[in-house]
Amino acid sequence: MAYIYKIIFYQPILNVLIFFYNTAAFRDFGLAIIFTTLLIRIILFPFFHKSSHQQMVMQRLQPKIKEIQEKHKEDKEKQSQALMDLYKEHGINPFSSILLLIIQLPILIALYQIMRSNIGASELSQLYSFIKAPGIINGTLLGLINLKNRSLPLVFCAAIAQYFQARLGIYQVPGTEPSQAQKIASQMAFIGPVLTIVIFYNFPAAVGLYWLVSSLFSIIQQLFINKKLKEKYGE
């Protein structure tokens, strides 16, 4: 299992980081992380886009979902079947958001391990043959933030970006009461950023930078999805 993780996540991320460090990042590791994050999000864009789109559609279906729950409240089996039929009709997988969280976890772990290793000779020996090993690595962002140490301002920025991302992903059908799922989403819009601060506070700033850039990417993506859905539903 450890070997598979190393081949699929650790080594590719390490090599991409060093590639960008040697080229587009002009030997600034912070810029290398930003470029790597953008590349990862572009690769995973179809999955993130589909998941975010499905979540927004599901929120628009809340009146129908509530109607089904009321109609079959005495028969949970029929209720589950009716809900699954509704999800299938609209191409929704209610568990897609969980899958994306699982995908992000090994990426965060790999980045954390890379920064904790100080990228020494052992790590550089894992570079692909076409990636040149740099001499000394400048582990800062624009010479201002040491990415090997923790950075509270960077974590706060990541938390703020995550809050706005979460708020953009909440939709309530006009003239209706918020569903239980929407209430939970509204609560998580506050809880998520708090957890981000608590979790990433003691992590290397590189991990917080990845989370910040990823959240900013998600904000742009969510704005695009919201615009398309408003046009589709004539809102």
Name residue 42's amino acid: I
Q: Which of 131, 47, 54, 130 is nearest to 91 (CA)?
A: 54
* pLDDT recorded at residue 143: 87
Using the predicted structure, report yes or no on whether residue 158 has a pLDDT greater than 80: yes
In this structure, are residues 172 and 59 in contact, taking their beta carbons and an 8 Å threshold?
yes
CA distances from 170 to 52, 105, 119, 148, 181 (A): 10, 23, 40, 35, 10
Q: Which of 95, 58, 33, 41 is nearest to 220 (CA)?
A: 41
Kindly report, residue by residue over 108-148, the tens digit of the pLDDT. 888 888 888 878 778 888 889 899 988 788 888 988 999 98
Q: Find which of 50-64, 140-154, 184-198, 217-231 is predicted with most confidence, using mean pLDDT.
A: 140-154
Residue 164 has φ and ψ, to the nearest 5°, of -65, -35
Domain range for 193 is: 2-233
Number of domains in the chain: 1
Q: What span, in angstroms and rounded, lies between the C-alpha atoms of 222 and 207?
A: 22
Kindly report, residue by residue over 99-109, the tens digit of the pLDDT. 677 778 888 88
| DSSP SS3 for 141 | strand
* pLDDT recorded at residue 50: 79
Name residue 110's amino acid: A
10-26: average pLDDT: 92
